[in-house]
């Protein structure tokens, strides 16, 4: 499975836009306009002068955002393509960051190295996630902060993915509807592993490793046959059906 995951992400770096040739400014505009809650929720400016580890940095857009607001950033990914993209993005943005190739299950940093570990849309692609959480706790300083995002199984997005999976089931004999749906979670079909979580599951899992754990739901979107991440609005402005579960916790 690890080899399949590596091959998939080498070909499909998140926020890479390697075919579209977008500039840093265009990538930044796309990221924070589409996911317009991120500045409010993650408050990048609060980490000025702090040491931040971006765990599973993808093409580095959030790493650069932390650096843009004055954080001391280390970006890590197990994909060589992601490391290359992140280094290029730091250079294009005229900002500094340390970018390393590494494995989240065995971090190459000393104990208590970081004020914050940030991991957006990564942990739900890792099977033995508890091993990663142990490592995150180890490299965080006392009272250090974890911030991350996991996919929400109690979302309208998941319901739509299940419906779409039903339509293509005949092409994938022997594959469950749920497995097909999780293969559709990314822009490119076929991600080898995705796990969707309920709020309760996230609270139970992260409370084993952190205190003051909070989980909130954001990003009311669905994928249709014609458009990805189509936003929808509810009359009461309720985000409970959102696709993203935002987790924050503090090291004991």
First to last CA, the chain: 33
pLDDT at 122: 97
Structure tokens at 78: 């197990």
Would you tell me the crossing angle of helices 61-68 and 24-34 to the nearest 10 degrees?
90
Tens of pLDDT, residue by residue over 48-63, are 999 999 999 999 999 9
Give the CATH number, domain containing residue 124: 3.40.50.150
How high is the mean pLDDT of the chain? Answer: 94
Query: Is 14 inside a domain boundary?
Result: yes
CB 122, CB 129: distance < 8 Å: no
Higher pLDDT, 171 or 182: 182
Give me the residue label for tokens 């040739």: 21
**CB under 8 A, 24+ apart: contacts of 140-143:** 140/112, 140/113, 140/114, 140/115, 140/116, 140/251, 141/112, 141/113, 141/114, 141/115, 141/251, 142/112, 142/251, 142/252, 143/250, 143/251
| CA nearest to 147, candidates 24, 15, 251, 34 | 251
pLDDT at 152: 98
Query: Is 16 inside a domain boundary?
Result: yes
Query: Is 226 inside a domain boundary?
Result: no
Structure tokens at 28: 């930044």
Higher pLDDT, 230 or 250: 250
- Could you tell me how many residues make up the chain? 252
Handedness of CA 209, 44, 79, 34 (dihedral sign): positive
pLDDT at 226: 82
Mean pLDDT (whole number) for 18-28: 89
Query: Is 184 inside a domain boundary?
Result: no
pLDDT exceeds cutoff 80 at 2: no
Query: Is 141 inside a domain boundary?
Result: yes
Mean pLDDT (whole number) for 118-134: 97
pLDDT band for position 237 (cuts 50, 70, 90): low
Share of the chain above pLDDT 90, in %: 83
* List of residues 6+ apart from 184 with CB closer than 8 A: 161, 164, 165, 223
Query: Is 232 inside a domain boundary?
Result: no
The number of distinct structural domains making up the chain is 1
Mean pLDDT (whole number) for 127-155: 97
Query: Is 168 inside a domain boundary?
Result: no
Query: Is 171 inside a domain boundary?
Result: no
Write out the residue range of the structural domain in which residue 74 sits.
2-152+192-219+241-250
């Amino acid at each position: 499975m690890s080899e399949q995951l590596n091959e998939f992400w080498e070909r499909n770096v998140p926020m890479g836009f390697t075919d579209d040739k977008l500039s840093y400014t265009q990538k930044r505009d796309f990221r924070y306009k589409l996911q317009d809650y991120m500045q409010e929720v993650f408050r990048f400016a609060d980490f000025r002068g702090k040491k931040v580890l971006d765990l599973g940095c993808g093409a580095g857009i959030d790493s650069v955002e932390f650096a843009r607001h004055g954080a001391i950033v280390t970006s890590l990914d197990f994909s060589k393509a992601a490391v290359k993209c992140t280094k290029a993005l730091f250079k294009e943005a005229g900002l500094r960051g340390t970018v390393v190739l590494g494995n989240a299950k065995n971090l190459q940093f000393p104990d208590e190295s970081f004020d914050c570990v940030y991991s957006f849309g990564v942990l739900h692609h890792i099977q033995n996630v508890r091993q990663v959480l142990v490592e995150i706790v180890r490299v965080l300083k006392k009272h250090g902060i974890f911030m991350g995002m996991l996919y929400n199984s109690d979302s309208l997005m998941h319901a739509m993915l299940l419906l779409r999976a039903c339509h293509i089931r005949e092409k994938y004999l022997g594959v469950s509807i749920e497995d097909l749906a999780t293969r559709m979670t990314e822009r490119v079909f076929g991600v080898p592993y995705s796990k969707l979580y309920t709020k309760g599951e996230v609270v139970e899992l992260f409370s084993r490793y952190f205190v003051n754990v909070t989980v909130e739901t954001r990003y009311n979107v669905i994928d249709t046959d014609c458009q990805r991440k189509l936003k929808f609005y509810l009359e009461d402005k309720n985000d409970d059906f959102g696709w993203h579960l935002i987790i924050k916790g503090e090291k004991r």
